[in-house]
Amino acid sequence: MLRNASISDSVASLSHKRLEINREKQDFSVVKNVDTATPWDLAVVGYADAQDASERARRWWQAVPSHIADIPKTADWAVAAFAIGCGLYFAFPFEPNLAVCGAISAAGLLAWMIATKWQWQSLLLLLVIFASLGLTRATWHSKAVNTPFLDEGFYTVTGWVEAQERSGNGIRWRIRVHEIEGRSAPESVHSVRIKINKRGENSNIGQVGQGVQLQAILSAPPGPVVPGGYDPARAAYFSRISAYGFSTSAPEAVILESRHWQESQSRRIARFRYGLAERIRVQAPEATAGLQVALLTGIRSYIPDAQTDALRAAGLAHVLAISGLHMGLLAGGAYALSSLFLAMIGPLARRYDMRKFAAVIGALSATGYLILSGGSVATQRAYIMALIVFLAVILDRRAFSIRSVSIAALITLTLHPEALISAGFQMSFAAVIALVIVYRNWQGPLYERRTIGSRFTTGLATLSITSFVAGTATAAYAVMHFNRMASYGFIGNLLAMPIFTFAVMPAALATLIAMPFGLEWAPLQVMGASLSLLLWVAEWVAGWSSAMVHIKSPPSWVVAIYSLGFLWLCLGEKSLKLMSLAVFAVCLIAWALNPTPDMRVSDDGRIAIWDSEARNTLYVGSNRADRYGREQFTRRAGVAEVETQSYADTLALCDALACRLELSGNSVSIVSHPSEVPEECRYSDLIILTERDAGPVAKRGCKAQVIGPKELKTNGAYDIYLGGKTIKTVQAIPKTRQTRPWGVRTYRRD
């Protein structure tokens, strides 16, 4: 981020050398006349005092016991242990007890404090303590969130519109609830998400920040539609969304007073962001307005689907998510401009190090961008990293290091432990760690020569290395989470990122600078033209043969084991690096041998069956039902496009009440009426009741495995593995999940 400011850094470095010479001639430790001292004099005195305090702290630290003094040497591994503790919370099949977790952490800490004669044992104990602290923090955070889920029913909701996004023919509102009336409505409901029809969109009612009242049918957020898939209920729980639903009446505008100053500020920021988004849409080129809104405000609902698909196929999907790249370019650009401007002020530049004041301006710019972009978890992580970099500049420390990445990870996980299991957190930190390791070893060869020609070559090499390293570090996570990989992502990034780095984001920074003066039209046009060129590159690369490759899902434990191996490779000594290669091999073998299910039963009894010979045909009961579930089912099998056919017409023998199929040596019956269950029990290995459940007597006397509406309602969708004597079924909502806070499907008043 800071290397882009090479000219300003050179000027500022010269001024810093002059400052060192002046310090030898002047004594800044004492200001004799405070009344005549300038603010700059006082700032330098404060900086000198801080350095003295730092030196005293260093001497004190040298006197503490060795196992305590060794903490900085193991800080990176301690943060990794903290992350493991957070991960254990989500991996547990039960809800941990907060008091027990806290007691384990306290006992371990006490044992470590008195273990003055231990060596490697104390370090191992320190890692265990940090893991228990991570588990404790995740448990505490989950209990503190305490989002209640609503029973399905009719509700009257009063609140203000916190956010809105397009959804099919209408829009979705996230409403910050002030009052809610209806069946089992608790007072602790924070937010709900409601789909509004178009009549609400075309009116002046429902602007972000405005108070509204409407009637809606709401229910608890749904669980995952496939075993091991994305869990909307867990995401809603930590986002404090108590229900999803749709409106049954036109919204009415109401006047609501903010209940506290935090809510008042949130409403102001929400109004400002969406007002700014509308202002950008009006003045930006129509073809790229959605992308410009997303890059400047973080609101992505205006991006056309075709553009999103092209960017994804070209390996440029990271452009859409405001993260370290955007924060680094914008805040780094602000730092470079301010550093250059301040360095040109001769009297100040000869006396003070202007880079430190420019770092303060860069930090303020990063703060403004964080607020403007909505402050998602990924943006918060990037913001923390930016602050650490600018603080390192102010304190004359190395700006980019594994230690700074560790601090950013620790702060992020302390604030949001649930971020650990998200794809964004894993991919962003994997990319940053890999880049820091690579540039730490190659920085010398890359930046030895400073001629004009070598700078161009160095810039191209840096961009190529960055694209390759970041793409390689994140590729495995992208495949594990999304089951797809951009085959030409390296080429796409190599062609598109110079446009994004040197044209799009500088124009975005110019837009934000010009907006207070009403002069944003020109930089918006430049930004739009640059994005048009970037989109052309993306569409060109996406049009190549096999641009997007789809791969089946690995076992769920592979993500955790792979991450551990990745940390060993990046942070470990030679022995751990070699062990990481063995870990990667185990993950690849388990991934390759992981079977894919033969059929799916949705939570409402819809059937989908793979063709036993070629996984490109899916036999279904209805093409319209369970579309999203079938899409997730085929995606996790690593299949991009499938042809659907009716199993009743091609694969099964059916009558009015049941269908019978022979699949992989097993007999499967699909029954619509329970009266047929006794008959099918004599011939079938698996019976699926799609509409009405059978009685306990019929199920108890059946030799076949029976899945009915009762099981589907409780356990969610089923993945079924056929073949052999035993039929394996995997539930989307197993009993272990039902014990977790986000697994409680409804709220019930005591």
75 vs 102, higher pLDDT: 102
Residue 25 has pLDDT above 50, yes or no: no
Residue-number span of the structural domain to which 40 is assigned: 31-62
pLDDT of residue 15: 46
| Domain's final residue, options 225, 257, 289 | 257
Q: How far is 393 from 366, CA to CA, in rounded Å?
A: 15
443 — pLDDT class (breaks 50, 70, 90): low
- Is 222:233 a contact under the CB 8 Å cutoff? yes
Could you tell me if 132 and 200 lie in one domain? no
Could you tell me if 739 and 613 lie in one domain? yes
User: How far, in Å, are 292, 337, 339, 350, 674 from residue 362 at the CA level?
Assistant: 22, 9, 9, 21, 69
- For the stretch 265-315, pLDDT in tens is 889 988 998 989 999 999 999 999 999 998 888 888 888 889 999 999 998
| CA geometry: angle 292, 293, 298, nearest 5 deg | 115
Tokens encoding 238: 């930590």
H-type helices in 500-573, by residue range? 505-514, 521-542, 558-571
Could you tell me if 614 and 738 lie in one domain? yes
- Lowest-confidence region among 230-239, 391-400, 645-654: 391-400
Could you tell me if 246 and 297 lie in one domain? no
DSSP 557: T
Residue carrying the six token digits 């962003």: 428
User: How far, in Å, are 112, 629, 708 from residue 714 at the CA level?
Assistant: 46, 17, 10
Does pTM top 0.75 for this prediction? Answer: yes
pLDDT of residue 39: 55
pLDDT of residue 226: 92
Q: How far is 34 from 744, CA to CA, in rounded Å?
A: 64
Could you tell me if 253 and 272 lie in one domain? no
The count of residues in the chain is: 750
pLDDT of residue 246: 92
Is the Cα torsion angle 359, 365, 371, 377 positive or negative in sign?
Answer: negative
384 — pLDDT class (breaks 50, 70, 90): confident
Q: CATH code at 166?
A: 2.40.50.140
On whether residue 405 sits in a domain, the answer given is no
Could you tell me if 716 and 700 lie in one domain? yes
Residue 97 has pLDDT above 50, yes or no: yes
Q: At what angle do helices 354-372 and 261-283 cross, to 10 degrees?
A: 90
| Domain's final residue, options 94, 112, 145 | 145
Could you tell me if 528 and 609 lie in one domain? no
pLDDT of residue 120: 63
Could you tell me if 646 and 518 lie in one domain? no
On whether residue 239 sits in a domain, the answer given is yes
- For the stretch 669-708, pLDDT in tens is 998 888 888 888 888 889 899 888 887 777 777 888 889 8
Residue 664 has pLDDT above 50, yes or no: yes
536 vs 66, higher pLDDT: 536
Residue carrying the six token digits 């920074």: 509
| Residue 541 neighbours by CB under 8 Å, 6+ apart | 313, 314, 315, 488, 491, 492, 495, 547
Residue 465 has pLDDT above 60, yes or no: yes
On whether residue 2 sits in a domain, the answer given is no
544 — pLDDT class (breaks 50, 70, 90): very high
Could you tell me if 644 and 707 lie in one domain? yes
Pairing of strands 643-646, 653-654: unpaired
pLDDT of residue 32: 47
- Across the range 209-214, mean pLDDT stands at 91
pLDDT of residue 746: 45
Number of domains in the chain: 6
Could you tell me if 138 and 124 lie in one domain? yes
On whether residue 450 sits in a domain, the answer given is no
| Residue 306 neighbours by CB under 8 Å, 6+ apart | none
| Domain's final residue, options 542, 576, 593 | 593
On whether residue 440 sits in a domain, the answer given is no
On whether residue 331 sits in a domain, the answer given is no
- Across the range 438-443, mean pLDDT stands at 73
- Is 717:700 a contact under the CB 8 Å cutoff? no
749 — pLDDT class (breaks 50, 70, 90): very low
Residue 237 has pLDDT above 90, yes or no: yes
Q: Which long-range contacts (CB under 8 A, 24 or more apart) does 62-67 make?
A: 65/116, 67/112, 67/115, 67/116, 67/118, 67/119, 67/122, 67/123, 67/126
Mapping DSSP onto H, E and C, the string for 644-663 reads EEEHHHHCCEECCCEEEEEE
- Lowest-confidence region among 217-221, 349-353, 424-428, 569-573: 349-353
- Lowest-confidence region among 372-386, 468-482, 540-554: 372-386
pLDDT of residue 473: 87
In 3D, which of 376, 369, 298, 283 has the Cα closest to residue 333? 369
555 — pLDDT class (breaks 50, 70, 90): very high
In 3D, which of 687, 633, 44, 739 has the Cα closest to residue 357? 44
On whether residue 367 sits in a domain, the answer given is no
How confident is the prediction for the chain on average, in pLDDT? 82
Q: Dihedral angle at the C-alpha atoms of 9, 15, 17, 20, nearest 10 degrees?
A: -130
| Residue 496 neighbours by CB under 8 Å, 6+ apart | 314, 316, 319, 534, 537, 538
47 vs 709, higher pLDDT: 709
- For the stretch 591-637, pLDDT in tens is 999 999 999 999 888 999 998 777 788 999 888 888 899 999 999 99
Q: How far is 331 from 509, CA to CA, in rounded Å?
A: 9
- Is 250:173 a contact under the CB 8 Å cutoff? no
557 — pLDDT class (breaks 50, 70, 90): very high
Residue 155 has pLDDT above 60, yes or no: yes
Could you tell me if 585 and 644 lie in one domain? no
Quote the longest CA-to-CA distance of the chain: 102
76 — pLDDT class (breaks 50, 70, 90): confident
Tokens encoding 390: 């600018």
In 3D, which of 288, 281, 329, 305 has the Cα closest to residue 531? 288
In 3D, which of 173, 182, 180 has the Cα closest to residue 244? 173
Classified as helix, coil or strand, 8 is helix
Tokens encoding 454: 């070598």
Residue carrying the six token digits 């690579």: 438
42 vs 628, higher pLDDT: 628
On whether residue 350 sits in a domain, the answer given is no
pLDDT of residue 133: 94
pLDDT of residue 176: 93
Residue 719 has pLDDT above 80, yes or no: yes
Tokens encoding 250: 């036109």
Could you tell me if 734 and 603 lie in one domain? yes
In 3D, which of 235, 310, 336 has the Cα closest to residue 10? 336
pLDDT of residue 17: 47
- Across the range 364-375, mean pLDDT stands at 86
SS3 content of the chain, % helix, strand, coil (to 5): 60, 15, 30
- For residues 299-322, one letter each, b for 16 or more C-beta atoms within 10 angstroms of the residue's C-beta and e for the rest, the string is bbebbeeebbebbbbbbbbbbbbb
- Lowest-confidence region among 54-63, 119-128, 589-598: 54-63
